[in-house]
Structure 1
Amino acid sequence: MLSTPHRPDAATRAVPADLPRKRDGARSRAGRVPAGRRGRLIAASALGGALLMMLHARIPNEVGQLGSLFQTFLPWAGLSVPVLLILAAVRRSRLAAVAVVAPAVVWVSLFGGAVVDKSSAGGDLIVLTHNVDEANREPGRTARALARSGAHVLALEELSAKTTPVYERELAASHPYHSVHLGIGLWSTYPLHRVEPVPIMPWTRAVRATVDTPKGPVAVFAAHLASVRVTPTTGFATARRNEAGRNLAEAVAAEQLPRVVVMGDFNGTSEDTALKPLTSQLRSVQREAGAGFGFTWPASTPLVRIDQILVRGVSPASSWSLPATGSDHLPVAASLRL
């Protein structure tokens, strides 16, 4: 009787030694990143962002004024937190999610107080500053809005030979005392004395005056620091602005009156360390008595606060922005206790 050769079935066939065996029936997961390593790039970005915000004052300005540029938009660095959280969720990375806590904590420590309303009632003197914009097509409407603002002292920047008479006419009834020096003007409900230009630039961009309030004299400076530009060759060009800021700082330091108000278009934020010679002498009314960041430019979609009211020897009670006029800047005002 012939016998047929034995043919092993599939279950008993030998597996060649050079083929990898799959353990526990699991499929190969070659090429998949281990869970513990997922999100490392996101985590590194989060920690780097936290470090930049924490050390923003030490970012050098030697190359393209990068420090000033970053500090100008520093509040917006907080937007990185939700973006990084979304990326961490997409990557399903616990490491990245934990790392995002770092920039969140740093941002809150820097700006958490800004989102709280710190204003209070009262005050003895209301001041207002507004870059009215040389190209403003409705100076009359702007002037009437300022007349209704309730401010005792108005500091206006970017006046022109054409628009100055309009402001003088519209503000004559509400603010009978005024003085204009080229593009800078002061209007007041109280008498003005010792009004004189402050030489911060080759042409007049700042004035100083004594305002005789019912509670005594107050030194008021109105200024418009030089404009800044962002160019491919120079980066964030702020040299002229910084020089004007230093010159203004010297004038403020030499002021003899104990109560001082400095306001105007600084073309820079209070966080910008390049303006520290000026801002270190004074206190920001928005930081001490405002609600929110008080962004002022551009008026249509405010992104930065470059219009400032800074004080010394007085206490800010409240700080606020006014509705848009025909200018590309928003007016800002503050109530002060003398």
Structure 2
Amino acid sequence: MRNALRACSRPEPWKRGPVLTALALLLGLLLLLHAKIPDVAGLGSLVENVLPWLGVFIPALLAAALWRRSLSAATALLLPAVVWTTLFGGLLHDKTHPGGDLTVATHNVGAADPAPTARTLAAAGADLLALEELTPRATPLYAKTLAPTYPYHAIRGTVGLWSKLPLSGTRTIDIMNYGPLAATKSAAAKLPENRALHTTVTTPHGPLAVYVAHLGSVRLTPRTGFWTTSRNIGAAVLTRAIATERNPRVLLLADLNGTLDDRAFTTLGTHLHSTQLTSGTGFGFTWPSTFPMTRIDQILYRGLTPNHSWTLPETGSDHLPVAATLTW
């Protein structure tokens, strides 16, 4: 008799788990409308940098819905599942293609040991190799070790490009010199201005414009939230330079300190494409190297066809190197 009364008092499956149902719908709306999240204290940008990881809540909520036998929660989970698959499902299958005329690589070398790191990177066979976060002590060691493989190189401050093909017209891009954001420049005054360069690579198929950049770091602190000021200034400068670039063939090899889901790179994404999105397999996370959770190191292109994109083995830096092969 007692069991019968309990059974009668239990809510129907569609009425069970109202909190789980609400959480499932909230997760779906968060994925769907992430661009609408106000960027107060960098909240919107922070969410967008971890956007793929929101998918881990889907199986967790599904397990809870099955445990509660809540049909409403299980049904509500269709929203985040469909949105997540639409946003990121295309990254999960292999998009590589055979062939390729040009292999490029980029790496934030950080505190890695210069000589062995240079030898490892040279062995990857890249025709163009970009390095970020160079230091006055490490730069000569990289130059000496890479010289036998790369007869041409250009270094501007903390970034450099080593090439098997001739370079010309190299110039520094002052990523802190952007008029519309001049009022916020003082907030990033300690950022070195020589963190980006532009050069032209002479190839048998014509000139190729190459940009190498290391945008400002981001910080997550209780006082400022997700601080992105210097990075956003650099993103605006790069976007403006690439938008006015006359060469139809462009490469950007960079540590952007943000993912391409970040709203700071929305306009940049209208001018360049990601090799990882179009020719990679999986998310291609690059940072931190011990347990990669986000892709902030990018190879972006225009006027070329990507064949393959991949990450290289750990070097001792807190970033993984990334490489790509492209066809003219």
2:16 maps to 1:38: yes
Deviations 1:249-294 (A, max 9, x none): 1111121211000111000101111222322211111101110000
Q: 1:64 aligns with which of 41, 47, 52?
A: 41
The residue identity in structure 2 corresponding to 1:236 is F
Q: How does 1:53-132 map to 2 (within 5 A)?
A: 53-61=31-39, 63-132=40-109
The 8 Å contact of residues 13 and 72 in structure 2, kept in 1 or not, is answered as no
- Greater helix fraction, Structure 1 or Structure 2: 2
Question: Post-superposition shift, 1:313?
Answer: 1.1
One-letter identity of the residue aligned with 2:27: G
Deviations 1:271-328 (Å, cap 9, x if unpaired)?
1112223222111111011100000000010000000111111111111110111110
Contact 1:245-1:277 at 8 Å conserved across structures: no
Aligned partner (choices 141, 160, 169) of residue 194 of structure 1: 169
DSSP 3-state at the match of 1:43: helix
Deviations 1:50-77 (A, max 9, x none): 111011222221x111111111011111
How many residues of Structure 1 are paired with residues of Structure 2 in the alignment? 313
Amino acid at match of 2:208: V
2:24, 2:61 within 8 Å by CA — same for their partners in 1?
yes
Structure 2 equivalent of residue 283 of structure 1:
273
Code of the aligned partner of 1:139:
P
Instruction: Please state how far the C-alpha of 1:215 moved relative to its aligned partner.
Output: 1.4
Q: Are 2:150 and 2:164, in contact at CA under 8 Å, matched by a contact in 1?
A: yes
1:47 is aligned to 25
Aligned residue among 292, 303, 322 for 1:302: 292
In the alignment, the residues of structure 2 paired with residue 285 and residue 157 of structure 1 have an alpha-carbon distance, to the nearest angstrom, of 19
- d(CA) in 2 for partners of 1:182 and 1:238? 22
Counterpart among 208, 212, 234 of residue 244 in structure 1: 234
Q: Within 2, Cα distance between the matches of 1:54 and 1:25?
A: 43
CA-to-aligned-CA distance 1:75-132 (integer Å, 9 cap, x gap):
1111011100111112111211121122111111111100011011111111111000
User: Displacement of 1:161 after TM fit?
Assistant: 0.8
Structure 2 counterpart of 1:108, which letter? Answer: T
The 3-state SS of whatever aligns with 2:267 is helix
**Change in CA separation of 1:25 and 1:289 when aligned onto 2, cut-off 3 Å:** closer
SS, match of residue 50 in structure 1: helix
Aligned residue for 1:64, secondary structure, equals helix
Offset at residue 217 of structure 1 (A): 0.9
TM-score by length of 1: 0.89
Please report how far the alpha carbon of residue 210 of structure 1 lies from its aligned counterpart in structure 2 after TM superposition.
0.4
Question: Does 2:310 correspond to 1:320?
Answer: yes
Q: In 1, Cα distance between the equivalents of 2:146 and 2:175?
A: 27
> Counterparts of 2:133 and 2:233 in 1: how far apart (Å)?
19
Letter in 2 for 1:301: F
Identity between Structure 1 and Structure 2 (%): 51
Equivalent-residue separation in structure 2 for 1:271 and 1:171 (angstroms): 34
**Unaligned stretches of 5+ residues in structure 1:** 1-21
Q: Distance in 2 between matches of 1:69 and 1:25?
A: 50
1:142 aligns with 2:117: yes
Partner AA of 1:176 in structure 2: P
1:255 to 231, 238, 245: 245
Higher radius of gyration, 1 or 2: 1
The TM-score with structure 2 as length reference comes to 0.92
